[in-house]
């Protein structure tokens, strides 16, 4: 890899490969969440269900721990002066909470008819929490990219 062991040239900036993995992975998750939203709007409940759960679990079990581990190994114990990391952490806690709540609501109110999954009118809370989750996740993503720029772009 250019520039040394474990680094990648990303738009003219040498960054650790793990950071590129996180940026790429989170970008793919954003695309997956958009696909899940399109599937929900198209009343494709089964597809929405599997894409949303897969993306949420991958984010929760892979990317969130990877980011936290990377941040602690580079910056030491929390808090990190001069960053807006606290807002990012709080958003991430909100994202995880909203995601878990939304999965519960989806299972609680989702229905099946003739082998198809759908959300009846009483499941409006699932839709509202889903939108809140998506907005919070995008805000955390944008704030994370801002932290990346702060940390890696001269």
Report yes or no: 60 and 90 within 8 Å, Cβ to Cβ. Answer: no
DSSP-H helix ranges across 42-123: 45-58, 64-75, 85-109
64-75 vs 17-41: helix crossing angle, rounded to 10: 150
Q: Which residues contact 54 (CB under 8 A, 6 or more apart)?
A: 32
Q: What is the pLDDT of residue 2?
A: 46
CA 128, 134, 139 angle in degrees (round to 5)? 130
CA distance 34 to 12: 29
pLDDT at 140 exceeding the cut of 70: yes
Q: What is the pLDDT of residue 1?
A: 41
DSSP helix/strand/coil, 147: helix
CA distance 77 to 93: 18
Q: Which of 63, 61, 89 is nearest to 75 (CA)?
A: 89
Q: What is the pLDDT of residue 82?
A: 67
Q: Which two tokens stand for residue 87?
A: 């807002």
Name the band, by pLDDT with cuts 50, 70 and 90, for residue 3.
Answer: very low
| pTM score | 0.83
CA distance 122 to 118: 11
């Amino acid at each position: 890899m250019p520039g040394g062991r474990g680094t990648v040239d990303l738009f003219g900036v040498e960054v650790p490969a793990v950071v590129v993995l996180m940026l790429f992975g989170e970008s793919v998750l954003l695309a997956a969440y958009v696909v899940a939203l399109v599937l929900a709007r198209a009343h494709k409940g089964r597809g929405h269900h599997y894409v949303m759960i897969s993306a949420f679990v991958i984010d929760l079990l892979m990317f969130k721990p990877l980011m936290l581990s990377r941040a602690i190994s580079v910056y030491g114990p929390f808090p990190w002066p001069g960053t807006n990391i606290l807002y990012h952490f709080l958003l991430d806690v909100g994202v995880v909470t909203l995601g878990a709540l939304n999965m519960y609501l989806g299972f609680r109110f989702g229905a099946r008819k003739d082998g198809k999954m759908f959300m009846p009118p009483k499941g409006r809370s699932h839709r509202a929490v889903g939108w809140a989750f998506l907005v919070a996740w995008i805000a955390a993503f944008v704030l994370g990219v801002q932290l990346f720029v702060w940390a890696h772009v001269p």
